């Protein structure tokens, strides 16, 4: 029996990320706009992925949330940020061939969050 995706959990996670980014004073306005745009693209890609790869979609959303949280803390912990970003990148590695757009979006988000946490 194929596992059904928990799309509500994924949507909730993505909504938390969006709220965190919007409410973060640690992110300059132009970077926030770029991240919001990437997040919208990520939502679209994850929605499609969740119908065929539910666990991977949930993992990507969860690692994105943790990475955003670590990058936007008042005093980011570089070690925790790196760990969360490594997890985020790892969550899409095996999708490189089947979902190149998703991998590109996740890599862009990862790079931006890494630069915020410096």
pTM of the model: 0.86
Mean residue pLDDT across the chain: 87
53 inside domain: yes
66 located within any domain: yes
Q: What is the DSSP letter of 27?
A: S
CA angle 44, 80, 12 (to 5 degrees): 30
Residue 1 has pLDDT above 80, yes or no: no
Residue 4 covered by a domain? no
Residue 2 has pLDDT above 70, yes or no: no
Domain membership flag for residue 81: yes
**Which residues are CB-contacts of 52 (< 8 A; sequence separation ≥ 6)?**
none
Residue 41 within a domain: yes
Three-state secondary-structure class, residue 73? coil
What crossing angle do the helices spanning 54-71 and 78-90 adopt, rounded to 10°? 160
What's the domain range around 104? 33-116
Instruction: Tell the burial category of 5 from Cβ atoms under 10 Å away from its Cβ (0-12, 13-18, 19+).
Output: buried
Tell me, yes or no, whether 73 lies in a domain: yes
Contact 48, 37 (CB under 8 A): no
Query: Residue 78 has which token pair?
Result: 């570089």
Q: What is the DSSP letter of 95?
A: G
pLDDT of 3 strictly over 70:
no
Position 40 in a domain: yes
Q: Report how many domains make up the chain.
A: 1
């Amino acid at each position: 029996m194929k596992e059904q995706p928990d799309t509500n959990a994924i949507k909730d996670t993505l909504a938390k990320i969006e709220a965190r980014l919007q409410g973060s004073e640690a992110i300059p306005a132009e970077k926030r706009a770029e991240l919001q745009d990437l997040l919208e693209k990520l939502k679209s890609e994850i929605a499609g992925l969740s119908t065929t790869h539910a666990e991977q979609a949930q993992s990507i959303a969860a690692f994105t949330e943790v990475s955003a949280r670590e990058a936007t803390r008042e005093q980011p912990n570089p070690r925790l940020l790196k760990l969360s970003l490594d997890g985020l990148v790892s969550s899409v590695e095996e999708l490189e061939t089947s979902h190149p757009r998703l991998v590109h979006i996740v890599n862009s988000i990862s790079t931006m969050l890494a630069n915020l946490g410096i």
